[in-house]
Amino acid sequence: MKRLYKIYFLFVGLIFLFHSLAFAAGKPINMTDIRSSISPEKERIVFEFDDKPVYNVSTEQDGKCIVFDISGVNAQAVKDKIPAPNDVIKSFNISNTQAGCKVSIELKQKQPYTVNVLNSPDRIFIDIQRYYKDSSVNHVMDGFDYTTFRRYDENGVLTAYIANIDPAKFSFVPVLGGGRTLGKNTVLNMARYYNAVAAVNASYFGGEKEVYGLTKIDGTIATNTYLKRTAFGIDAAGKPIIGQVSYSGSVHTKNGDFFINGVNCAREANTIVEYNSFYGDSTQTNEYGIEYVVENNKIVKINTNDTLLKDGQIVISANGTMKDALNGLKVGDEMTINEDLGSDEWNKASEIIGVGPQLVKNGQIDITAAEEQIGPDVTGGQSPRTAVGITNDGHVLLLVADGRQSISDGLTLKQLARLLIEFGAKNAVNFDGGGSSELVIKNEVINSPSDGIQRPVGVSLAVIKK
């Protein structure tokens, strides 16, 4: 009988032990706390437990959502401690699942992070970088690379693209909206006109044929301004140059010398305008003037208006008092057009795009916005930007920075100058920005134009393989 009692008590003990082990094995781990802290460099989120959990970390939404799957954990006690959205976190969600709990941290943009554990008490913590700088180099072809640059700091978030191009292997050519005639078009279409490897938007512009800056193509002035502005150009030796350029033009005749008021622009009252084939098929002027077709410094034809424009010819169009001043000139008379760009270097340059202001000179920030009469629409605040620089070794930098969107706030001119110097610019000039800023490489728009679509522009700078 005693033996039966012993067997009975042993059996009961085994059952009790089995139930105890089963209860212990099935006992859930509790998440007891969630807390977060923010520094300029990172945001830390700490999950605390009453025992060590097993977890897995993954990402969704192209890296913008960090997901923790934590096995056997009950998170009911911390649902009122969820971190609030901020400049890093878009949303934070935690929920119990059949397997445990799931934590989803949706970020405003993809950012680097690290996950680690601590003991006593048991904790998992994630550090999400707030301030960061990241870049990757993309090889396009021999002599042409571009860098995708991302940064987040006290000035905001930035995405920019910087092409580094060897001018020994590539040519740089201004492209008009109509290819070789004034107009407006997208940078992508303008790149295709020359089958260019790359292109960026360039000059300031207005109406269909209005360009606010000096443009010189194949040695011929296509547009002008009388303001002294910084320009990018190709000198007589084929070397890229950046510096300030000015324009002055006059017509020499037997009646005297007369000021040229503009090149390839609308003719206004009492002015002289110079037209050439970059303007289009004809001058598109009204009948209240007179037009002299000039070839080899001689008048070859006289017309009243809307004169046809041909390669190798210039049309001098006069109105009002300037029409009267040229009265008496006839076919066969001498007419010489004199144009000066302020220096021998610029006069001999084959290609010029004048925009401004200057950003960098001799490796130092030197912004000449006031001197060049650049208005607050360009100089004010962070915006999408386009710029061109030249490095110490003579390479050309094309920089386009996105702005006015969640992925990138943009740059001020000073921030733009600093970034150009960071990438090696010795000299640099600002190009048109805002919704016009666009970089095309191999028939693809690389950046994210702030309008959401490509904006038609007046002039682009194309990069053509030699």
**pLDDT given at position 458:** 98
Angle at 115 between CA 113 and CA 116, to 5 degrees: 145
Largest CA distance in the chain: 146
247: tokens are 């324009």
The beta strand positions in 385-450, using DSSP E, are 385-391, 396-401, 425-431, 439-441, 444-445
What per-residue string of b and e applies to 308-341 under the rule 16 or more CB within 10 Å gives b?
ebeeebbbbbbbeebbebbeebeeebebebebeb
Q: Which of 462, 37, 449, 456 is nearest to 205 (CA)?
A: 456
Mean pLDDT by 10 residues, the chain (466 residues): 51 46 61 93 94 95 95 94 91 95 93 93 93 92 97 92 98 98 98 98 96 98 96 98 97 98 97 98 97 98 97 97 98 98 98 98 98 94 98 98 95 98 98 98 98 98 98
- Cis peptide preceding 357, ω within 30 of 0: yes
Half-sphere exposure of 238 (CA within 13 A, CB side): 7
Neighbours of 352 (CB within 10 A): 24
pTM listed for this prediction: 0.81
Do 210 and 458 touch, CB atoms closer than 8 A?
yes
**pLDDT given at position 163:** 98
What is d(CA 437, CA 158) in angstroms, rounded to the nearest whole number?
A: 14
What is d(CA 225, CA 214) in angstroms, rounded to the nearest whole number?
A: 6
**pLDDT given at position 198:** 98
**pLDDT given at position 132:** 82
What is d(CA 251, CA 257) in angstroms, rounded to the nearest whole number?
A: 5
Half-sphere exposure of 403 (CA within 13 A, CB side): 22
**pLDDT given at position 21:** 40
Half-sphere exposure of 347 (CA within 13 A, CB side): 9
Residue whose token pair is 């011929």: 220
Give 184's strand partners. Answer: none
Give 432's strand partners. Answer: none
**pLDDT given at position 347:** 98
**pLDDT given at position 83:** 92
What is d(CA 434, CA 415) in angstroms, rounded to the nearest whole number?
A: 15
